[in-house]
Amino acid sequence: MHDTTSRPMRSARPAAPLATAIDSSLAIPGDKSISHRALMFGALAVGETTITGLLQGEDVLRTAAAMRALGADIRQEGAVWTVAGRGIGGLIEPQDVLDMGNSGTAARLLSGILASHPFFSVITGDASLRSRPMRRVSQPLAACGARITTRANGSLPMAIEGAREALPLDYDVPVPSAQVKSAVLLCGLNAAGMTRVFEREATRDHSENMLRHFGAEVTVKEIGHGREILLRGQPELRAADVIVPGDPSSAAFPMVAALLVPGSRVLLRGVGLNPLRTGLFTTLREMGAALTILDGRTEGGEPVGDILVEHTALRAVDVPPERAPSMIDEYPILAVAAASARGITRMRGLKELRAKESDRLAATAAMLTANGVKVDIDGDDLCVYGNGNPPPGGGLVVTHMDHRLAMSGLVLGLSTLDPVTIDDVTFVDTSFPGFTGLMNGLIDGAEALVAA
């Protein structure tokens, strides 16, 4: 990747109107959500856990460093990681502040673990993470007996004096959030008795799946669109090997690139197909996308498959609000697809986007507006007006230190009539290491995706 500290990066393409057809096969980097959890659960288990396919992006490496600081022995040999855990309640007080960089997932899940351990710790992060709301986890976690202090606005740094004898929690999650749900469940691991979480809308269930994989007793009851999750506290988690599937959120970017560039055909190998993560795939199919699942299988308790993607002329759709939890990270790249679709695509119920690495709702709208696409924000809905033709382009994408906006802007630049300028791509490696190099390799014979 080029140095971006002193100059903007450009998504550049060859001759108008579009980039050279993409025809390739690639393995998607490991799922970030599962990678975080594999390291954390391995550290809380008794014995040695082997992890294959761990995402080696900055966010996950921050989690590995934090679990080492809490006493776990974590080693890497090539693509294989091993975690020698300390057992439930066996973590030790860290000697320094735990810096989680840009990762909201790592910070929130880790706070759940720390709240039920009887020692003092402090979590912080970069400027973007320090601006994100943390009361959504600090308030429910305090009920276990922990003393938690944040800045006046509820953001990081967060100081946690863990409970001496943690109490089980009973919590109804007010806004759909797998991070909040997981933080409460992780806290409940070290509390005697049953911890209960109710979510009004089902969110990604990697924590529940992995808890079972490591031997915890977890029961789930479907209630309407929501779910009640019960966890029996203080189990003896047993080391369990984990094969991390390809991240469906990362697969979204080359997938949309292939759909938008005429003549393209891409095979995405080993992608996680958890139904609570595949809302984008459902939506793209409704838009007419040619997506074919090949070799469906189960690995480490998660459904996995290869996805064949072929260029398709897309049509606009109305995306219902109840689908948001299953594709909350994919709305920026869906908006890029909608910009080339025919008709008005309306994405409903996107309030949660305002609390991501940036205000993703406003930033996504700004990205498209700057590149000649008509966009409206109506309350918590995003409307993108497409006419079935390539967007004009020629504008600047302001990423606000948000890796998904940067990647979405780079893919947008493959479909526009004029090049798109990205103000900063240095954050892309937090979730998709080597993204620009991989995409450059897909565009056979074309100009580089990113040029100085």
pLDDT at 322 over 60: yes
CA distance between the termini of the chain: 10
**Upstream peptide bond of 254 is cis (omega within 30 degrees of 0):** no
Task: Pick from 84-88, 348-352, 411-415 the range whose average pLDDT is largest.
Answer: 84-88
Read off the pLDDT band of 25 (50, 70, 90).
confident
What is the phi/psi pair of residue 435, to 5°?
Answer: -60, -50
Query: Which is higher by pLDDT, 68 or 57?
Result: 68
Query: What is the predicted pLDDT for the residue at 4?
Result: 36
Identify the residue whose tokens are 């002193």. Answer: 6
- Residues 193-214 pLDDT 10s: 999 999 999 999 999 999 999 9
Q: What pLDDT is attached to residue 7?
A: 35
Catalytic residue among 329, 402, 424, 429: 329
Name residue 396's amino acid: L
Q: Which of 76-90, 117-131, 177-191, 420-434 is the least confident region?
A: 420-434
pLDDT average, residue stretch 286-300: 93
Strand partners, 293: 307
- What architecture does CATH give domain 9-30+245-451? Alpha-beta prism (3.65)
Grade residue 443 by pLDDT with cuts at 50, 70 and 90: low
Give start-end residues of each CATH 3.65.10.10 domain in the chain.
9-30+245-451, 32-243
Q: Is the pLDDT of residue 138 over 60?
A: yes
Confidence (pLDDT) at 427? 82
pLDDT score of 420 more than 60: yes
pLDDT of residue 446: 39
Mean pLDDT of the chain: 91
Pairing of strands 158-161, 120-124: antiparallel
pLDDT at position 376 is 97
Q: Which of 28-37, 263-272, 434-443 has the lowest mean pLDDT?
A: 434-443
pLDDT category at 165 given cuts 50, 70, 90 is very high
pLDDT for the residue 441? 67
Active site residue 329: yes
pLDDT tens-digit series, residues 396-408: 999 998 999 999 9
Higher pLDDT, 156 or 7: 156
User: Residue 6's pLDDT band (boundaries 50, 70, 90)?
Assistant: very low
Q: Does domain 32-243 have CATH number 1.10.10.10?
A: no
Q: Is the pLDDT of residue 363 over 90?
A: yes
